[in-house]
Structure 1
Amino acid sequence: MSFLTDLQGAARQMVQPLRRVLVRWWLSQSPSRQDRFATLGPLISVLLFLTAIILAFWYLRNEEIERESEAVKRDSEIAQQQIRVRLNDNQEQLLRIAREIVTRAVDTQEFSAQAKAFARDRPEITHITWLSKHREARASVSGAGFQDESLMTTEGNDPSMPLANQSNPAELAFQAARERRQPSYSPPFADNIGTRVFQIHVPLIDRTGFAGVVIAEYSIEALLRYYVPSEVATRHVVAILDAGEQVVASTVTQMPGKRPKRALIQHEVPLAPAMNGLVLRGEGYRTSIGLISNTLFWMVVALSVLTVWMLLGTWKHMRRRLQIQNALSSETNFRRAMENSMLTGMRAMDMESRISYVNPAFCAMTGFSEAEMIGRKPPFPFWPPDRLEENARLLQQELQGRSPAGGVEVKILRKDGTTFDGRVYISPLVDSKGKQTGWMTSMTNITEAKRVRDQLSASHERFTTVLEGLDAAVSVLSVQQGELLFANRSYRLWFGADPAGHALLSGSQLGRSSGPDADEEVDDYSGLPAQALTEMGSDPREVFVESLEMWFDVRSRYLQWTDGRLAQMLIATDITTRRHAEAQAASQAEKAQMTSRLMTMGEMASSVAHELNQPLTAITNYCNGMVSRVRNDSIQKEDLLAALEKTAKQAQRAGQIIHRIRNFVKRSEPKREPAQAFDIVEDAVELAGIELRRRNVAIHTYIAQRLPTLMVDPILIEQVLMNLLKNAAEAIDNAGLPVSRRHIELRVVPKHTPELGGHIDFSVTDMGPGMPEEVISRMYEAFFSTKADGLGIGLGLCRSIVESHQGRIRAENLYNGEAVVGCRFAFSIPVDISRVDPPVPTGSLGPTTGSPEGSAVNNKQATP
């Protein structure tokens, strides 16, 4: 007894420190955590109880399966042992009979007698047969114990009879016994009446060797029925299966036409000592119901789930109440913080207009403390003395519910004597029961807002004045409704207040009136969001308004209107005067080009006259010669035809010169057309050749083959080339250069640069003295010339012509060291270099000299 007392004391001493630690930990937790732990404790206990019940059922179920498995294994091995003992005993008896046959101790009659006695006590044997080594039946006894001559014959195709050159089970066992000289079991097979059997072949070995076999045939079903203990067959199902796992025999007969249900517990052992593919299988079933079908288990689970659900519901309810308390506390603190931090002054009054509450913002606005205002009735201390009656009237108006929705603007007096403008809103103060308990007033300082509003109003007035004073038409149109939102004075002067003028300038269908079919109209903007449209700009457009006979430069963009609608703004500037000036300038430029060509022909007049004089003189000489010879009858027909042909060629030459001059100087509208660089150069060189020959200057022409087609005005490009060639010839002639330097090189080649892309480059290079740098920088200026009698319009026209074809013209001096040895003028015309034309016919500009492959080089010496 004292031992138990000491043990209890020791346990108490061990528990006391742990208890103190737990109590200290519990007191350190917040009330919300204590409530949570108090709720989770029972929940965890119920879950542990449910887990223990499930584990107990699982353990009992596994124990039952284990016991049943051991019982099936034990019974299967007992059945195997019984069958093995019987087969071994039968094998010993058959070996004894085989020895007696070999020693000639028995004949066929004695064998039959012994076989009858052997089969009589062994119901599993269907028959015993003695075969010679040639498979001839010497004697055969059935399982019933009588002699049967029809057994083991070859005439009836008996499957129990081993047949040579076949592979039936009996033949396989016969061959195995003959080869091994030991008893051999055959695979299972069906005999002539359909019974599943197997055979044992005991070999007969005498002095001469193999003499035959003694065959005993076993019925598998009888072997299972007679030698499986009844207590085993009662407890479990015992079956024999072949190599294909097909049931050969079983202690339980299955329902015909139904597939047997696979047992949950199985144990298989081989059918020893046969070892011919037969397997003995024991099958067992559980005797108790499963876990799923156990009512007690589900009752425990249901009660546990119900308990857990109730505990969870209680826990959620406690959490909800705690959340509501926290939310209420947070809401109270939030409202107090909001009232204390907001810039709007709040004031509460009871039904007698007595102030019952003011927030810090109200005190900060007026300068009075909360104690100075709580409990005060009108007139309040923040009312200006000169506005007491007005403020009292406004207060009564508000208390009677007749105050405007936008509030009342009043003057407020601060404690320091200054005033400010305030806007006051008043509303009934209603409690939770719907009863009015007073009035709530909010007040904002609008002094700065009024100042900004006045500034905005003045700014808007100035902005409107500027827009009204613009010479450009400014209009804003709603995209969806087609409503004209704004139009300045110039727009109203030209188009009135009609949105159709906006649509005309924008070139779209804006301004459609909404009607019953408005919803069925197509969205011109494909659902593009307003943000994307407002960020998108537009290129300026030039629009001609036929009704006004005016040209406008129109710029547009999308914007968000003040009410949020998507709108389009247009600024249309009158450019009619500019367009007229441009047209007049173009006309003057055309006249200047014509004048330049006439001046060029005027300067070349003597050369042209000399050039025409040669073919005309030749024609006169040919005609005079023919007349003289005709009069003297001294001309033959062939000589006359030859003279006439030469006369025709000279006349044709004179006509070509006049035709080229006429095409060059005739007035025509600029016209772009497909042209070949070779043809342009040929015409320009023919015309310039007159001046070059007069000045004793040679020209060398290089034209690359397979040049793309130019889309130009050929006459204008010829004019540029003529001007450049004439200037080069004048520079060489005026410098008095020797014959070795009196030549010009004209090159036409395709090029491609990142800046200009694909283009054809025309370059004119002379060996003259070059140009000063200040002349190169000013040579394109109007009326600037280095010639004493020059007008200064030639190179300016050349630049205008080239740039009108989107080309570039440039000039540079050529240097040999620091000495200037020539000057090069070049201009480029853009083309599509992928479109290449056939090669030009070489030799058109003169005799062809050696040239690289793929190009045409033509040299022509202009001589006086």
Structure 2
Amino acid sequence: MLSRFEFKNLSRRAMLPVQRLLAAWWRRQSPARQDRFATLGPLISVLLFLAAIILAFWYLRNEEIERETEAVKRDTEIAQQQIRLRLIENQEQLVRIAREIVTRQIDAHEFSAQASTFARERPEITHVTWLSARRERRASVSAAGFQSETLMSGDGRDPSMPVADQSNAAELAFQAARERRQPVYSTPFSDYNNLTVFQVQVPLLDRTGFGGVLIAEYSVEALLRYWVPTEVASRHPVSVLDSREHTVASTVTPMPGQRVQRASILHDVPLTPALNGLILRGQGYRVSIGLISNTLFWMVVALSVLTVWMLLGTWKHMRRRLQVQNALASETNFRRAMENSMLTGMRAMDMESRISYVNPAFCAMTGFSEAELIGRKPPFPYWPPDRYEENLRLQQQEVQGRSPAGGAEVRVMRKDGTIFDARMYVSPLIDHKGKQNGWMASMTNITEAKRVRDQLSASHERFTTVLEGLDAAVSVLSVQQGELLFANRSYRLWFGADPKGHALLAGNQLASEAGSEAEEDTDDYAGLASQQLTEVGSDPREVYIETLEMWFDVRARYLQWTDGRLAQMLIATDITARRHAEMVAAQQAEKAQVTSRLMTMGEMASSVAHELNQPLTAISNYCNGMVSRVRDDNIRKEDLLAALEKTAKQAQRAGQIIHRIRNFVKRSEPQRQPSSAHSIVEDAVELAGIELRRRHVAIHSYVAQRLPQLMVDPILIEQVLLNLLKNAAEAIDNANLPASRRHIELRVIPKHTPELGGHIEFSVTDMGPGLPEEVISRMYEAFFSTKADGLGIGLGLCRSIVESHQGRIRAENLYNGSSIVGCRFAFTIPVDIPRPEASGTAMNTAATP
């Protein structure tokens, strides 16, 4: 066998690989993890200790409860066994007496003697009674051992007496004994003395059958008092309960008025061999204190919780300290990386003006290494020799704390002798105690920035010179404050330095907004992104300034000013000369319209003369006829009146023709008025009828009923219709078309389209040769005409007239297959009409030859 020393050596050698693995694993962990594990070890130990204490208390408590439960169960079963043996013994004695009664070995007197001896020896029995089969009392002996005439009376007042036609416990037991022919125990009930009792009825069976019963009545309280062992009653309370679990009797009598504490341990067994619903219950109480009431337990828990809390606090403190250390290391590394990567040079000096720190950027700027600068006092090697005095003065200002807040511009010399411009900012160095221990200076190379600044200054000067030389007024106004931020020379020449001129050019919109801001102290643009406003393009508009009597073409745009404010820029160009030219052109166009009408009437002169010749000839004929008949005195008064009326009609007809032509060619200002499409068509057709009859061209007009009123100049619309009808007639006549195709169709109908909305369409359709495609694309050009003697202003005027009424005009050829069979000119005049219904629109048709 191995000795104790050898066994220890073997154990130690077996544990060496495990220790090495643990040591290697521990070294691989970071310091933070090692601290965490070092803290978690005691915490886990305390928690395990607390769990062990709780489990120990719980185990001991459960073990005690089990022991007490077993004791209660054992004592209850002992009491049950004792009562059971007593009841069986009594039952056997009663069966013996009953057998003697049946065999007539004893009579009533001898029965009383035996029953007295039986009752005196058994204090739990209240009385023994002999009843006949008809429930008649033969003999009755009380617990005292003597007969009593009051026992088991048949008057129905004794609940112990079986009474026919009743359902008391005694009667039910009597019937069961008669039927079963064996001893029967009754259910518990209250007797004449208000004691809880039960009976055992032994049937008397002879040769003739059922001869009655022998009744022994037990007191439950006496049975429990005399036959529960004393040692059992002293250990645990024993009680008898009925079927409703009401306590009938108990070995422990509670104090009056006090509530009985419910036992924590119970054990129930039936009262055998009676089995009549009575239950024998043993009760037990826990002697030990529970976990909740155990002071020692709570002290252990409190100490464990306190230890856990202290360990958690220590762990949190270590974790916070580790976090601070990591944050400090990260901050140090970050600042070092930032200082090493930044282009700004950093230099630290102590209170004696000795350089204590320089970053790599400072060394890169000056060309000197860190070793060449640390510990140096003024004059520093990067000072130019010709600026020693000035740099020394700046150094004194730094030491005295009088450095300018905006930094000082200095000249620095590199190690190779080159010079560059720099800006230096100085601030005091404060230690953790709040005491100054030096100065920190940051230096930035501004050579390039200075060059860019000079270039920007020159560029700004050139840009300002260009803006000042513009003929257009340029102004920039702050939207929120209403402040004029910029104005060029032209603006100042026309409006001065007043921002009201900007508001006039902006159409008073900005002025009203600024006014509302001043009144309500709110920002209308606070909810808008300035980028969205500045991305909006300019919207040109023409503004008339009454005080200057000038027209301006104004273009506005929102922009972000140099200080971040939202501003509006306006560029206003003087267009007064252009507006005058447009007015002159409009007057010339009006004259051209009148000229066009005169030319139309000139072209129709022969037709008009022919038209006037008819009524004038008729008037001459009527007058000559009347003169001849008056000279011959061959005319009646009625014939003279009729001739005069006809003459007046012809004269009126000639006057209407002249009046209509005069109104058509009369020069007047365009006047828009409510006009009827039907009357416009009638007048145009009547004027064009002269030319159409001359050229032998028929016209068919279709005018829809219930058309809305047109807000137009009727003379101009008549001019358009007349021009289109005359062109159609000329196309038909010049093409020498047959009579079947020498007609024109004029239609006026209401329409509604998604593009144009509600409008009335005038269309002129002819059956002529149509128009070539190149003519359709150029026919509205000025002075373009397909006629040899045309001036090329008719269709252009028609287009201008229609567009001035917010309408559109178009031309298209009509095809039959690939052949052109006509041409249609149509123009629209906008009106407010509902969408067309499904039913057709009634048309008014008129035909003029």
Q: TM-score band, normalised by the shorter chain?
A: 0.7 to 0.9
Displacement after TM superposition at 1:770 (Å): 1.3
Which is higher, the Rg of structure 1 or of structure 2?
Answer: 2
Measured against aligned partners, the alpha-carbon deviations of 1:271-302 in whole angstroms (never above 9, x if no partner) come to 99999999998876654333233221221121
Displacement after TM superposition at 1:446 (Å): 1.1
Q: Secondary structure at the match of 2:848?
A: coil
One-letter amino acid of the counterpart of residue 732, structure 1: I
Q: Secondary structure at the match of 2:21?
A: helix
CA distance in 1, matches of 2:208, 2:378: 150
Query: Judging changes above 3 Å, is the alpha-carbon distance between structure 1 residues 783 and 3 closer, same or farther for their aligned structure 2 residues?
Result: same
Residue 146 of structure 1 is aligned with which of 123, 146, 151? 151
- Correspondence 1:785 to 2:785: yes
Measured against aligned partners, the alpha-carbon deviations of 1:433-464 in whole angstroms (never above 9, x if no partner) come to 66665554432211100111011111222222
Contact 1:475–1:491, Cα closer than 8 Å, also in 2:
yes
What's the counterpart of residue 45 of structure 1? 45
Displacement after TM superposition at 1:507 (Å): 1.8
Displacement after TM superposition at 1:416 (Å): 3.2
- In the TM superposition, what are the counterparts of 1:482-497 in structure 2 within 5 Å? 482-497=482-497
One-letter amino acid of the counterpart of residue 862, structure 1: T
What's the counterpart of residue 11 of structure 1? 11
Contact 1:748–1:760, Cα closer than 8 Å, also in 2:
yes
One-letter amino acid of the counterpart of residue 55, structure 1: L
Measured against aligned partners, the alpha-carbon deviations of 1:608-633 in whole angstroms (never above 9, x if no partner) come to 666677789899999999x9999647
Query: Judging changes above 3 Å, is the alpha-carbon distance between structure 1 residues 298 and 612 closer, same or farther for their aligned structure 2 residues?
Result: farther
One-letter amino acid of the counterpart of residue 20, structure 1: R
> TM (normalized to structure 1)?
0.73
Contact 1:242–1:248, Cα closer than 8 Å, also in 2:
no
Instruction: Identify the range of structure 1 (676-685 vs 14-23) with the bigger mean alpha-carbon deviation.
Output: 676-685
CA distance in 1, matches of 2:813, 2:318: 100
Q: Secondary structure at the match of 2:302?
A: helix
Query: Judging changes above 3 Å, is the alpha-carbon distance between structure 1 residues 54 and 544 closer, same or farther for their aligned structure 2 residues?
Result: farther
Instruction: Identify the range of structure 1 (434-443 vs 53-62) with the bigger mean alpha-carbon deviation.
Output: 434-443
- In the TM superposition, what are the counterparts of 1:415-434 in structure 2 within 5 Å? 415-428=415-428
Contact 1:422–1:444, Cα closer than 8 Å, also in 2:
yes
Displacement after TM superposition at 1:205 (Å): 13
- Correspondence 1:692 to 2:692: yes
Query: Judging changes above 3 Å, is the alpha-carbon distance between structure 1 residues 256 and 498 closer, same or farther for their aligned structure 2 residues?
Result: farther
Displacement after TM superposition at 1:362 (Å): 2.6
Q: Secondary structure at the match of 2:562?
A: coil
One-letter amino acid of the counterpart of residue 57, structure 1: F
Task: Report the number of matched residues.
Answer: 828
Q: Secondary structure at the match of 1:802?
A: helix
- In the TM superposition, what are the counterparts of 1:175-186 in structure 2 within 5 Å? none
- In the TM superposition, what are the counterparts of 1:341-740 in structure 2 within 5 Å? 341-349=341-349, 353=353, 355-374=355-374, 376-396=376-396, 398-428=398-428, 439-504=439-504, 505=506, 506-509=508-511, 521-525=521-525, 527-528=527-528, 530=530, 533-534=533-534, 539-597=539-597, 599-601=599-601, 603-604=603-604, 607=607, 632=636, 667=668, 669-671=670-672, 673=674, 681=681, 684-685=684-685, 687-701=687-701, 716-740=716-740
Instruction: Identify the range of structure 1 (359-368 vs 327-336) with the bigger mean alpha-carbon deviation.
Output: 327-336
Query: Judging changes above 3 Å, is the alpha-carbon distance between structure 1 residues 541 and 274 closer, same or farther for their aligned structure 2 residues?
Result: farther
Contact 1:481–1:513, Cα closer than 8 Å, also in 2:
no
Contact 1:692–1:862, Cα closer than 8 Å, also in 2:
no
What's the counterpart of residue 796 of structure 1? 796
RMSD value, Cα: 6.3
One-letter amino acid of the counterpart of residue 151, structure 1: G
One-letter amino acid of the counterpart of residue 771, structure 2: M
Query: Judging changes above 3 Å, is the alpha-carbon distance between structure 1 residues 830 and 60 closer, same or farther for their aligned structure 2 residues?
Result: farther
What's the counterpart of residue 303 of structure 2? 303
Instruction: Identify the range of structure 1 (719-728 vs 736-745) with the bigger mean alpha-carbon deviation.
Output: 719-728
One-letter amino acid of the counterpart of residue 507, structure 1: Q
Displacement after TM superposition at 1:561 (Å): 3.1
Measured against aligned partners, the alpha-carbon deviations of 1:409-449 in whole angstroms (never above 9, x if no partner) come to 33333333432222234455565566665554432211100
Instruction: Identify the range of structure 1 (781-790 vs 454-463) with the bigger mean alpha-carbon deviation.
Output: 781-790
One-letter amino acid of the counterpart of residue 768, structure 1: G
CA distance in 2, matches of 1:507, 1:7: 105
CA distance in 2, matches of 1:93, 1:488: 143
Contact 1:479–1:510, Cα closer than 8 Å, also in 2:
no
CA distance in 2, matches of 1:44, 1:151: 80
One-letter amino acid of the counterpart of residue 801, structure 1: I
Displacement after TM superposition at 1:728 (Å): 1.4
Query: Judging changes above 3 Å, is the alpha-carbon distance between structure 1 residues 482 and 162 closer, same or farther for their aligned structure 2 residues?
Result: farther
Query: Judging changes above 3 Å, is the alpha-carbon distance between structure 1 residues 821 and 480 closer, same or farther for their aligned structure 2 residues?
Result: closer
One-letter amino acid of the counterpart of residue 300, structure 2: V
Measured against aligned partners, the alpha-carbon deviations of 1:356-407 in whole angstroms (never above 9, x if no partner) come to 5443323322333344445555554434444445444544555455543333
Displacement after TM superposition at 1:485 (Å): 2.7
Measured against aligned partners, the alpha-carbon deviations of 1:648-673 in whole angstroms (never above 9, x if no partner) come to 99999889878876776664544375
CA distance in 2, matches of 1:402, 1:555: 52
Q: Secondary structure at the match of 1:724?
A: helix
CA distance in 1, matches of 2:543, 2:258: 95
Displacement after TM superposition at 1:52 (Å): 1.9
- In the TM superposition, what are the counterparts of 1:220-239 in structure 2 within 5 Å? 231=232, 235=236
One-letter amino acid of the counterpart of residue 815, structure 2: Y
CA distance in 1, matches of 2:282, 2:662: 126
Query: Judging changes above 3 Å, is the alpha-carbon distance between structure 1 residues 352 and 68 closer, same or farther for their aligned structure 2 residues?
Result: closer
5+ residue gaps, structure 2: 144-149
CA distance in 1, matches of 2:367, 2:463: 40
CA distance in 2, matches of 1:652, 1:228: 154
Contact 1:765–1:824, Cα closer than 8 Å, also in 2:
yes
Query: Judging changes above 3 Å, is the alpha-carbon distance between structure 1 residues 859 and 510 closer, same or farther for their aligned structure 2 residues?
Result: closer
Instruction: Identify the range of structure 1 (271-280 vs 697-706) with the bigger mean alpha-carbon deviation.
Output: 271-280
5+ residue gaps, structure 1: 840-852
Contact 2:671–2:712, Cα closer than 8 Å, also in 1:
no
Instruction: Identify the range of structure 1 (713-722 vs 141-150) with the bigger mean alpha-carbon deviation.
Output: 141-150
What's the counterpart of residue 809 of structure 2? 809
- Correspondence 1:862 to 2:822: no
One-letter amino acid of the counterpart of residue 848, structure 2: A
CA distance in 2, matches of 1:655, 1:215: 156
CA distance in 2, matches of 1:91, 1:661: 154
Contact 1:477–1:511, Cα closer than 8 Å, also in 2:
no
> TM (normalized to structure 2)?
0.74
What's the counterpart of residue 24 of structure 1? 24
- In the TM superposition, what are the counterparts of 1:801-840 in structure 2 within 5 Å? 801-830=801-830, 834-835=834-835
CA distance in 2, matches of 1:823, 1:383: 96
Contact 2:471–2:573, Cα closer than 8 Å, also in 1:
yes
Query: Judging changes above 3 Å, is the alpha-carbon distance between structure 1 residues 85 and 418 closer, same or farther for their aligned structure 2 residues?
Result: same
Displacement after TM superposition at 1:854 (Å): 1.4
Measured against aligned partners, the alpha-carbon deviations of 1:47-76 in whole angstroms (never above 9, x if no partner) come to 211222223333444445555666677788
What's the counterpart of residue 146 of structure 2? none
CA distance in 2, matches of 1:613, 1:712: 34
Displacement after TM superposition at 1:753 (Å): 5.7
One-letter amino acid of the counterpart of residue 452, structure 1: V
What's the counterpart of residue 844 of structure 1? none
Displacement after TM superposition at 1:314 (Å): 3.1
Contact 2:129–2:141, Cα closer than 8 Å, also in 1:
yes
Contact 1:704–1:854, Cα closer than 8 Å, also in 2:
no
- Correspondence 1:765 to 2:751: no
Query: Judging changes above 3 Å, is the alpha-carbon distance between structure 1 residues 658 and 253 closer, same or farther for their aligned structure 2 residues?
Result: farther
CA distance in 2, matches of 1:58, 1:772: 115
Contact 2:135–2:163, Cα closer than 8 Å, also in 1:
no
Displacement after TM superposition at 1:727 (Å): 1.6
Measured against aligned partners, the alpha-carbon deviations of 1:187-232 in whole angstroms (never above 9, x if no partner) come to 9999999999999999999999999999999999999999998957
CA distance in 2, matches of 1:208, 1:659: 159
CA distance in 1, matches of 2:402, 2:745: 100
